[in-house]
Amino acid sequence: MFLFKRLSKFIDHQYEQPKGLLGWYIGEKMIRQHKPETTWTITLLNLQEDEDILEIGCGAGYAMKLLLNQPSVHKVTGLDLSKTLIHSSSLRNQLAIRNKRAQVVLGNVHQLPFKDKQFSKVFSIHSVYFWDNLPQAMAEIARVLKPNGSVLITLCDGKDGESWDTVKKMMETELIPLMKQMEFMNVRLVKGPDSRGYHTVAITGEF
């Protein structure tokens, strides 16, 4: 039982901050697993001309690559805690990085290494679960958003017809009220596609 708990904790940490060869494998696996919600999230971004976009928790860079194929996108920046995934993302988007249309940055949502009012869109897919301090994270997102910018946070709130009460409570009593308190406008919860039985939702807001 002790060995199982240690193994489970190790795997959980690898999903939060993948490292080494196993971390690389997990990054590629997450691309395959999360394709439905990734493409849906990009559709929800409602891209306009000359978008400067930040992805928090960019993983192996698949969403970045999809966005860079959009002619309306000026630049995409990916942020991640994992050096392994930063390397994967850099390889996947190396041409765009060389052409100054993309960059990947090692960093943390609680202290974003960017200047004020830099991005027109900020989004995140399946990383909010690991944000230890929601008020600080959302304050940082608000700081780096341009006027009339928007944020989109995609996550799962249940599986196979069952709701995850902890996640729902976080959204309903913490995240959504916090965004309204910070004067995000048109804050709403949007239901998305089921992915491998998981119920996908997104919380959006305009700043």
CB 108 within 8 Å of CB 42:
no
Domain ranges for the chain: 2-206
Question: Do 176 and 203 touch, CB atoms closer than 8 A?
Answer: yes
Separation CA 152–CA 41 (nearest Å): 8
Q: How far apart are the first and last CA of the chain?
A: 48
DSSP assignments along 132-174, one per residue = S-HHHHHHHHHHHEEEEEEEEEEEEEEETTEE-HHHHHIIIII
188 CB-contact burial (10 Å; exposed 0-12 / middle 13-18 / buried 19+) = exposed
pLDDT for 28 equals: 64
What pLDDT was estimated at residue 7? 30
Kindly give the confidence (pLDDT) of every residue in the chain, 207 residues in length, as a single tens digit, with 9 standing for 90 and above: 433 343 333 334 444 455 555 655 665 677 677 889 999 999 999 999 999 999 999 998 999 999 999 999 999 999 999 888 898 999 999 999 999 999 999 999 999 999 999 999 999 999 999 999 999 999 999 999 999 999 999 999 999 989 999 999 999 999 999 999 999 999 999 999 998 899 999 999 998
| Whether 85 contacts 63, CB under 8 Å | no
Given this model, what pLDDT does residue 2 score?
A: 38
In the three-class reduction of DSSP (H, G, I as helix; E, B as strand; rest coil), residue 54 is classed as strand
Rounded Cα–Cα distance for residues 127 and 108 (Å)? 11
d(CA 69, CA 95): 12
Alpha carbons within 13 A on the beta-carbon side of 143: 14
Point out which residues pair with 102 in neighbouring strands: 76
- What is the value of pTM for the model shown? 0.86
* Topology (CATH) of 2-206: Rossmann fold (3.40.50)
CB atoms within 10 A of CB 109: 23
pLDDT of residue 196: 87
